[in-house]
Amino acid sequence: MKKNITAIIFGIAIVFAAYLLSNAYMNRNKSEGIVSVTGLGKADFTSDLIVWEGSFARENVNLQQAYSDLENDKKVIQDYLTQKGISAEELVFNAVNSHKNTRSKYSNEGQYIGDEFLGFILTQTLQIDSNDVEKVEKISREITELLNKGIQFYSQSPRYYYTKLADLKIEMISKATEDARIRAEKIADNSGSDLGDLISAKMGIFQITGQNSNEDYSWGGTYNTSSKAKTASITMKLTYEVD
């Protein structure tokens, strides 16, 4: 009796295995029934926040005098910027940085014999953060007027940012997703199939470049701060079932 049951089970197993092998052979050339597409979302925008930095310095063999001269320069600069429309909330003076200025001394034979003290160099930086982009841009171009007041001011190039970046990113994702879905529908339609359920969605890197620039995209994402007018873009890779 046990032998008969074993033989029956063994026979069923053989039949089932043969079915699986036959089905695999018949479907060996069929596609997986999926389509993957990449959509792009882009938008042009203008920065609404400008950050501008500059520095000024004084040198003197007397440290106390150097601090006094630097403080006088600070007051002149602050008054100048206030007259130009910069508010106290927009302007920040950072801590004073000081170091000794020395010069290497050598003997007539060219041997190093020590350092000569020339004085103390005190440097202070300032930063302006403002939503009035045009106003600060104008000031950054006219800051050389301080030279007429006896102050050597070193200006950096302004940096431009956008405070509504989070909302913009959501908008870009929506555009990229819609673009990918339309592409997938066209592929399915051209192949005589129906677009099925969404299997996966993968977001690409968020890129911000200057408008009409030749900046290259980066694998880690590009974030332009040198241009006021920018272009944001992002990709979305969607994978759908195809019926």
Q: Do 24 and 37 lie in a common domain?
A: no
pLDDT at 183: 94
The pLDDT tens digits for 58-100 are: 999 999 999 999 999 999 999 999 999 999 999 999 999 999 9
Domain termination site, one of 110, 143, 160:
160
Interatomic CA distance for residues 32 and 9, integer angstroms: 33
Closest Cα partner for 90 from 61, 131, 31? 131
Q: Do 20 and 91 lie in a common domain?
A: no
pLDDT at 113: 86
Q: Do 146 and 179 lie in a common domain?
A: no
User: Which 8-state DSSP code applies to residue 223?
Assistant: B
Interatomic CA distance for residues 155 and 172, integer angstroms: 35
Question: Poorest-confidence range of 3-7, 61-65, 203-207?
Answer: 3-7
Number of domains the chain contains: 3
Interatomic CA distance for residues 243 and 37, integer angstroms: 16
Domain interval for residue 178:
32-46+164-242
Q: What is the mean pLDDT of residues 33-58?
A: 95
Q: Do 72 and 155 lie in a common domain?
A: yes
Q: What is the mean pLDDT of residues 104-126?
A: 90
Residue 103 bridge partners (DSSP): 116
pTM: 0.77
Does 220 or 155 have the greater pLDDT score? Answer: 155
Q: What is the mean pLDDT of residues 149-164?
A: 94
